[in-house]
Amino acid sequence: MGQVTLKVWRGNSESGQFQEYTAEAGEGMVVLDAVHQVQATQAPDLACRWNCKAGKCGSCSAEINGKPRLMCMTRLDDLPPGEVITVEPMRTFPLMKDLVTDVGWNYEVKKQIAPFAPRKADHRDGTWKMHQDDADRVQEFRKCIECYLCQDVCHVLRDHHKHDQFVGPRFLVHLAQVEMNPLDTGDRIADTKNKHGIGYCNITKCCTNVCPEGITITDNAIIPLKERVVDEHYDPVMMLLRLVLPKKKSGQRSAVSGQETHG
């Protein structure tokens, strides 16, 4: 493939600039390989976070040619040939150094979400029974590797900085994962509306487009949660029905027959 030119952001929270470097591109190389080559040959102090190089740890998130992507999953031969490759840190989080941002805000957000609260175990050995179909629905959300690329691209955080009012797509996925779990007895819908700010999402699907795990964030997590919020807070008929009919949360249900899941 020959040489590639990388324009890498160098700096900290105070100041910074792009620096151009070149790297020898080989067959199957990814952007992270090129960044490592730059580190090894031209800029030993270049800071970048990585761990698995297999798209599984979610550490190497950055913006490549303006798009939030994992550096380890972006092949050089998939980028426009002969063009300079821009590598920038994520823009939604405070910059620490070069390509490394402080994503600690996400950990604080997660602590504010009511945790999974399973019903009493169905069996004396502490296990539950749940149907595979019901498990499949929330399984998609468990694929999340917490790369926070969706948080990075979401304009509510990126452009409007609503970090104190909106948890972002990653945690709406997490909310859907616990809220739709058939074993869960918690109710987070009022929080989803009031505390976690789901109303800020205007369903523009940027999060879905960047998710490296292919989670259908908007259609399968956010919109179903929005609909549950409508049930409880906006739809007068549903609100009336809920007054008459007691809410049936899975905790009160008997276990259904089906494939056994060990808890």
- 3 state SS for the chain: CEEEEEEEEEECCCCEEEEEEEEEECCCCEHHHHHHHHHHHCCCCCCCCCCCCCCCCCCCEEEECCEEEEHHHCEHHHCCCCCCEEEECCCCCCEEECCEECCHHHHHHHHCCCCCCECCCCCCCCCEECCHHHHHHHHHHHHCCCCCHHHHHCHHHHCCCCCCCCCCHHHHHHHHHHHCCCCECCCCHHHHHHCCCHHHCCCCCHHHHHCCCCCCHHHHHHHHHHHHHHHHHCCHHHHHHHHHCCCCCHHHCCCCCCCEECC
Name the binder of 150 from ligand FES, another protein, ligand SF4, none, CB < 5-8 A by kind: ligand SF4
Whether the Cβ atoms of residue 69 and residue 213 lie closer than 8 Å to each other: no
Contact between 144 and ligand SF4 per CB under 6 A: yes
105-164 positions binding another protein, by CB under 8 A: 131, 133-134, 137, 153, 155-156, 158-160, 162
Name the binder of 160 from ligand FES, ligand SF4, another protein, none, CB < 5-8 A by kind: another protein
Contact between 229 and ligand FES per CB under 6 A: no
Contact between 46 and ligand SF4 per CB under 6 A: no
Q: Which of 52, 190, 203, 240 binds ligand FES (CB under 6 A)?
A: 52
Name the binder of 70 from ligand SF4, ligand FES, another protein, none, CB < 5-8 A by kind: ligand FES
Q: Exposure pattern of 102-130 as b/e (b: 16+ CB <10 Å)?
A: ebebbeebeeebeeeebbeebeeeeebbb
Q: Are strands 85-88 and 2-11 parallel, antiparallel or unpaired?
A: parallel
- The minimum distance between CB 214 and ligand FES, in angstroms, equals 14
- Cβ proximity to another protein: between 56 and 65 the closer is 65
- Cβ proximity to ligand FES: between 58 and 168 the closer is 58
Name the binder of 48 from another protein, ligand FES, ligand SF4, none, CB < 5-8 A by kind: none
User: What does the alpha-carbon distance between residue 109 and residue 159 come to, in Å, rounded to a whole number?
Assistant: 19
- The minimum distance between CB 212 and ligand FES, in angstroms, equals 8
* Tokens describing residue 262: 């060990």
Q: Pattern of binders to another protein over 209-248, x per CB under 8 A? A: xx-------xx---xx-xxxxxx--xx-------------
Contact between 66 and another protein per CB under 8 A: yes
Q: What residues make contact with another protein under the rule CB under 8 A?
A: 7, 9, 11, 16-21, 63, 65-68, 80, 83, 86, 88, 91, 131, 133-134, 137, 153, 155-156, 158-160, 162, 165, 179-182, 184, 197, 199-206, 209-210, 218-219, 223-224, 226-231, 234-235, 249-250, 253, 256, 258
Q: What residues make contact with ligand SF4 under the rule CB under 6 A?
A: 58, 144-150, 153-154, 156, 169-170, 173, 201-207, 210-213, 215, 217-218, 222
